[in-house]
Chains A and B, each alone.
Chain A
Amino acid sequence: RKEVEQDPGPFNVPEGATVAFNCTYSNSASQSFFWYRQDCRKEPKLLMSVYSSGNEDGRFTAQLNRASQYISLLIRDSKLSDSATYLCVVTSSGSARQLTFGSGTQLTVLP
């Protein structure tokens, strides 16, 4: 079983739609959680951190469920520019705090 698992998609949604991605992680000692965005043939970039209480950044909402070991990302009012691959990232405990990446969920927003 992979440490971090995501539905690879692809998710094809019309502009204005709401779409949600889930991610599960296997290490209960994981400490920090993030969503990264990766455009085609580009490097990943931090989209947002995920906090236990849930957090929102404009049209994006991230939530964490430690008991069930999953995190989610909700995108409201999808824009064409949201088309990308969304990577779930989990950090381990320990001094190096390694990041473990999910394989990503591909989103295409259609006009």
Chain B
Amino acid sequence: NAGVTQTPKFQVLKTGQSMTLQCAQDMNHEYMSWYRQDPGMGLRLIHYSVGAGITDQGEVPNGYNVSRSTTEDFPLRLLSAAPSQTSVYFCASRRDGGNTIYFGEGSWLTVV
């Protein structure tokens, strides 16, 4: 039972590079989301999706793109990495109407 799988776990980028964080869930959850976690800031919502083909912005969407072509996958794209995007990123999912949110193990991203 894989749950929520995100890759890579660690990544170092140079300023201006682009990359995609992958996220997949095998629980057939409608709702998926991406958070970033910074010291003293808690988890902040970047983008979310309530189903395939539907995405919306969260609290801190600038510099990130998402797409949801299937129920299972919800990749997060960094368009042009900046040092301010150095953070830990968590993908999460839950079923529609459910209360429990399931997180991936996190992706540690450093932009130099």
Name the segment of A13-21, A42-50, A54-62, A75-83 touching the other chain: A42-50
Contact with B along A31-74 (1 / 0, CB 8 A): 01010000001111110010000000000000000000000000
Whether, in the assembled complex, B1 has its beta carbon less than 8 Å from a beta carbon of chain A, the answer is no
* Least CB separation from B98: chain A residue: A97
Provide the main secondary structure of the chain B interface: strand
Which residues of B approach A to under 8 Å, CB–CB? 31, 35, 40-45, 48, 50, 56, 58, 90, 99-101, 103-106
Contacts of A99 in B (CB 8 A): 45, 101
Chain B residue numbers with a CB within 8 Å of A42 are 105-106
A contact residues vs B (CB 8 Å cutoff): 4, 8, 32, 34, 41-46, 49, 87, 91, 95-96, 98-99, 101-104
A-B contact pairs, 27 of them (CB 8 A): A4-B42, A32-B99, A34-B99, A41-B106, A42-B106, A43-B90, A43-B103, A43-B105, A43-B106, A44-B43, A44-B90, A44-B103, A45-B103, A46-B100, A91-B99, A96-B31, A96-B48, A96-B50, A96-B56, A98-B45, A98-B48, A101-B35, A101-B44, A102-B42, A103-B40, A103-B41, A103-B42
